[in-house]
Amino acid sequence: MFLKKNNFSSTEEITGWGLYPRFNVLKKNPKNIDELTEAAKTPSLIARGNGRSYGDSSINKVNTIDMKNFNRFLHFDESEGLLVAEAGVLLKDVIDTFLPRGWFPSVTPGTKYVTIGGMVAANVHGKNHKNSGSFGNYVHWIEIINIDGEIVRCSRNENSDLFFWTLGGMGLTGIILNVAFFLKSVKTAWIKETTLVAKNISEAFRFFEDNLNSPYSVAWIDCYTKGKSLGRSLVMLGEHAKINEIDFKNKSNPLKSPKKRRISIPFYFPPFILTKFNVRIFNFFYFLNGRIGRRTKLVEWDTFFYPLDKISNWNKIYGKKGFAQFQCVIPLTNSKKAITELLNCISNSKSFSFLAVLKRFGTETSYFSFPMEGYSLALDFPINSNNLLLMKVLDEITVKYGGRFYLAKDSRIKKNIFEKSDNRISEFRKYRQNKIQKKFSSIQSDRLNL
Amino acid sequence: MRKNVLLVLGASSDIGMSVAKKFAQEGFDIQLAGRNSYNLENHCTDLGIRYKVNANFYELDALDFNSHEKFVRSLPILPNVVVSCIGLLGDQSESELKIKKNVTVIRTNFEGVVSLFSIFANYFIDRGNGTLIGISSVAGDRGRASNYIYGSAKAGLNAFLSGLRNRLFSYGVNVLTVKPGYVTTKMTSGLKLPKALTTNPEKVAYCIYKAYKNKKDVLYVLPIWKFIMIFIILIPESIFKKMQL
């Protein structure tokens, strides 16, 4: 029972959030800048944050550099909400620290357990992309360890090429070290949430387009419905509540959030728990709840933005083999047609997916980020041969309608499909060719030859 | 009212950082002492931004005994609580070969802390209050083949803290011995730790703060370790020596 240091190998099995695929890799955990620059001397490497990308984006077989020790706030300017943080700082820490002072992230993904470096690398989007764009829009500057091991600062005015390729560049332009970004001012920790029940996908689209002014919007789609009720969904709209809108008892401390416990899943769910039947029952109650619940209510920020974070390792519910998330965005003109076709394809297959998430995106703002104006659909599939085949079909449909894929979620797309989906790839390759391409690479970038 | 002050010795350790964060969260001003100034100055900035407290860094070499008195006098405010996270695990197999390294492990884990705590003890007696918290280890409860160098230093530390507690009690000064068990830190990175026996630095910090508030004497962060160690201590030496532990 007592331990001996394993001197022979320091390899470690790591995966993305999807627990698929798994790799044995050499990982380094530099503690300070000297150790980091030393670790960055190997010919091939990738930086890794909290491992919340789903696939192989943050994994390099010979040198995966864990940035979690770089987790300090370096500066905060109260007058304009400008925060300078090391790349390994978790978004959760940003919220815990600054929400009580009236600041909230301008853009947030669906989990608060991401690092700021990861948010830059994937140029993450949130439920407010249609009006507010990606996280990169609020980044003031980035400091990067470049190919020569030097720390370079880049921004819209300084080394702007590096800046715009780094936003959404999946860590393939260098090691993101420090990030300066703007938080936005909020008056309360509460969100005014309105839930609309859409009978089918056309109605869901109508709800989105009718509510473009609502700051946040997202739809949860039941993937089992067919025919007329295909795409039955709950469309959730939200906005930050003002002081006069919140309950009396919270008014004395409008920025305080109630303490909640996180549930954790102690083991991998065996396959019989997530069957089509059980998921159907879950969805039935979920929608019943949406229908009978109050249409407009106040919810605290955690429930609205991070419902899944309540279960600390929900990725285990898909079992030991893991899961993959399919996420695409379809240009606005084709959105309805393409997403109807995707949903049809899913509901007719033998596969099952819990819930699909539909979001409206606004215009594209950086060189290589995922979003474009249109609609984005995301769903999880447990790994098995049927589902992998189904996702291939979904890939084809996406490409047919001019859509593209989210690298932060991808663990399995084929190179030729990816090339067809994104014509910016050749520019990115040109930027990275020769030196950078060899130095900064992940298993994903090798797979897709980025 | 003036804020309470926590001094962390060996602050670049993960447990040290977590303890600093926890106490800062509870409103303490923070003094961080250790080597590796680059890291610690950033940590001070971070604590200042996060918890709106004063946090400052002071250079300290635990092995430079002659400098300790000067170090304590150089602190602008005598802290209310001192926690020592000074520790060096070393590598047992290497230790057997390189006697010099053994000595460093012993001197760091034991002598360094003894020297600093003895000085603080005298100041605290004069003031009539204060708390000394020593991070020790379950490894100090019985020497085992796998890490008896580290273990013996921690055993010495346990005895020292126990004696110090005995001496300082009547002066209103508390001494807390902390035995964390396995903790996922930089010190243990690369070791395969059994999950049920392992905790994280945040949990350790939380328990230390609670134990400090309750004026506890000895803290096993995970209660299971208390039972394991009682069991291990009870094994007769004639059997124990044949076991590969």
CB distance from A264 to chain B under 8 Å?
no
Q: Chain A contact for B186, CB < 8 A? A: yes
- For residues B147 and A441, the model is more confident at A441
Q: How confident is the model at residue A157 (pLDDT cuts 50, 70, 90)?
A: very high
DSSP run (H or E) holding A391 = helix A385-400
Indicate yes or no: CB of B92 within 8 angstroms of CB of A4.
yes
Confidence of residue A7 (pLDDT cuts 50, 70, 90): very low
B121: which 2 tokens?
Answer: 């003890």
Look up tokens 């898909």; give the residue. A318
B43 vs A contacts (CB less than 8 Å): 72
Interchain contact A37–B (C-beta under 8 A): no
Using CA coordinates, name the residue in chain B closest to A5: B191
- Mutate which: A1, A2, A262, vs B, most B CBs within 10 A: A2
Q: Is the pLDDT of residue A15 over 50?
A: yes
Q: Is the pLDDT of residue B197 over 70?
A: yes
CATH 2.40.10.220 fits A86-187, yes or no: no
Binned at pLDDT 50, 70 and 90, residue A1 comes out as very low
What are the beta bridge partners of residue A115?
A: A90
CATH code for the domain defined by B5-240: 3.40.50.720
Residues A32-81: tens digit of each pLDDT: 899 999 999 999 999 999 999 999 999 999 999 999 999 999 999 999 99
For chain B, the average pLDDT equals 91
pLDDT over 80 (residue A248): no
Separation between Cα atoms, residue A352 and residue A315, nearest integer Å:
16
> pLDDT-derived band of residue A253, with 50, 70 and 90 as boundaries?
confident
**pLDDT tens digits, B148-196:** 999 999 999 999 999 999 999 999 999 999 999 889 887 777 777 888 8
- Looking at residue B39, what is its pLDDT? 76
CA atoms within 13 A on the CB side of B100: 0
pLDDT digits (tens, 9 = 90+) for B93-119: 766 677 888 888 899 999 999 999 999
ipTM of the modeled complex: 0.83
The reported pLDDT for the residue numbered A8 is: 38
pLDDT band (50, 70, 90) for residue A264:
confident
What mean pLDDT is predicted for residues A131-142? 97
pLDDT-derived band at A268, boundaries 50, 70, 90: confident
Domain-by-domain residue ranges, chain A?
11-66, 86-187, 190-412
pLDDT at residue B147 tops 90: no
A233 by Cβ neighbours in 10 Å (0-12 / 13-18 / 19+) ranks as buried
Nearest to A3 among B36, B50, B146 (CB): B146
Per the model's pLDDT, the better-predicted residue between A436 and B90 turns out to be: A436
The pLDDT score that the predictor gives to residue A282 is 66
pLDDT for res A5: 45
Burial class (CB in 10 A: 0-12, 13-18, 19+), A147: middle
- Contact assessment for residue A121 and residue A170, using Cβ atoms and an 8 Å cutoff: yes
> What average pLDDT score do residues A338-359 get?
88
The model's confidence at residue A351, banded by pLDDT at 50, 70 and 90, is: confident
| CA of B43 vs chain A CAs: smallest distance (Å) | 6
Q: Which residues lie below 8 Å from residue B24, measured CB to CB, with a gap of 6+?
A: B6, B30, B47, B50, B51, B53, B55
Tokens representing residue B17 in the block: 């950082």
Mean pLDDT of chain A, nearest integer: 90
A to B CB pairs, distance under 8 Å: 53
> Which chain A residues contact residue B195 at CB under 8 A?
none
Residues in chain B, overall count: 245
What sign has the CA pseudo-torsion A160, A161, A165, A166? Answer: negative
**B43 and A5 in contact by Cβ < 8 A?**
no
Residue A175: the pLDDT is 98
Q: What is the pLDDT of residue A272?
A: 66
State how far the Cα of A173 lies from the Cα of A121, in Å rounded to an integer.
9
**What is the pLDDT, as a whole number, of residue A252?**
79
Nearest residue to A220 via CA among A379, A350, A331:
A379
Q: Kindly give, in sequence order, each residue whose CB lies less than 8 Å from that of residue A165, ignoring residues fewer than 6 positions away.
A: A173, A367, A368, A428, A431
Residue A310 pLDDT grade (very low, low, confident, very high; cuts 50, 70, 90): confident
So what's the pLDDT on residue A6? 42
DSSP A273: T
Would you say B137 and B92 are in contact if contact means Cβ atoms under 8 Å apart? no
- pLDDT value at residue A4: 45
What fold characterizes domain A190-412?
Answer: Alpha-Beta Plaits (3.30.70)
Nearest CA in chain B to A11: B190
Cross-chain Cβ contact A3/B91 below 8 Å: no
